[in-house]
Chains A and B, each alone.
Chain A
Amino acid sequence: MKDVKKLKGDSERITITKDIKELVKARLSVLPKNINISIGSDGAFKRDELILHVEEEDNIGKKIIQVDMEFLQSLKRGELYE
């Protein structure tokens, strides 16, 4: 499969497809422009910066993809309403 990379997550291995990247970018795009996201020692990022990182699939981008995918899996498993 083209543009497929694997991310090691806690539960399932996450395969980064183009669709997943677009999903994560779309989800990030609803954040207001005035919101910054502090990611530990990596720094503080604006929405559009994170979208670029996701597109680039660099360390920060992969981190954001992992957060999103594991969160969605957790929602699917109903873990947040136990």
Chain B
Amino acid sequence: MNKILLITTPDHDITTRYLSVWSSKILELADKKNIRVINLKRKKANIKELKSRILKIKPLFIIFNGHGGNDCITGYDNKILIKAGNNENLLEEKIVYAISCRSASVLGKRSITSGTLVYIGYDSDFIFCHDERKISRPLNDKIAKLFLEPSNQVAVSLIKGNDSKEASRRSKKFFLRNIQKMLSSEALPESNQYAKFLWWDMKHQVCLGDGSSSF
């Protein structure tokens, strides 16, 4: 299987904008490691483009930024990309990281049954806080950073050669570190609120399938 990364960056609302912009950190690392990247940006994050690239180019690692549900991942304008019982076979023999709310609960499990190597995702809503004053510059948003850096750590760890189980472990460790910072005596009064959402994301991140798989 080719060492190729496919990523969706739909960027059609505030949430997907933040996820997409913060994915640039992953793409910078991939570039440094000479990994070929296929970035399905905005309107290109659609089922036709996704299917075509997966079948022709056969990426090993796929990152889905976007919304979702228990049984699906969506792309641009919340159009379905992958749906359980429909086309999860597209993820066969792939390593998947899906920041698509709740998709690990049904789609993740079904895709493993259909031959996906690993599905790292969330079995409940992925929740994050952000500063509305930084909407035009999401990378400068220190509040969003608390959430999106640990989330990115899954992909960062995989790109650096760690196996999937270790990638998820490192991501959760990062979440925990940020939680503990938010609960420290030096934290601001509102930090406790960030801590609870960080904890939720950490608790609901799951690594399904063969944890020894690596990119």
Contact = CB atoms under 8 A, between A and B. Distances in A.
B131 A34 contact: yes
Given A41-B68, A81-B180, A36 B130 contact: yes
Contacts of B15: 38, 40, 43-44
Contacts of B179: 80
Interface string B78-97: 10000000000000000000
Interface stretch (B2-10, B106-114, B159-167, B190-198): B190-198
B47 interface: no
Residues of B in contact with A, size category: 35 or more
B14, B143, B190 interface centre (most CB from chain A within 10 Å): B190
A30 B189 contact: yes
Contacts of A44: 13-15, 130
A21 B104 CA distance: 30
Interface in A42-59: 42-44, 46
Interface of A: 10, 27-28, 30-32, 34-44, 46, 63, 67-68, 70-71, 74, 80-81
Interface of B: 13-15, 18, 67-69, 74, 78, 101-102, 125-133, 143, 176, 179-180, 183, 189-190, 192-193, 195-197, 199-200, 203
A40 B180 contact: no
Nearest to B147: A38
Given A34-B133, A71-B195, A41 B143 contact: no
A67 B183 CA distance: 16
B130 A35 contact: yes
Contacts of B195: 71
Contacts of B78: 41
Nearest to B122: A40
B67 to A, nearest CB: 4
A68 B183 CA distance: 14
A53 to B, nearest CB: 13
A39 B189 CA distance: 22
B102 to A, nearest CB: 7
A40 B129 contact: no
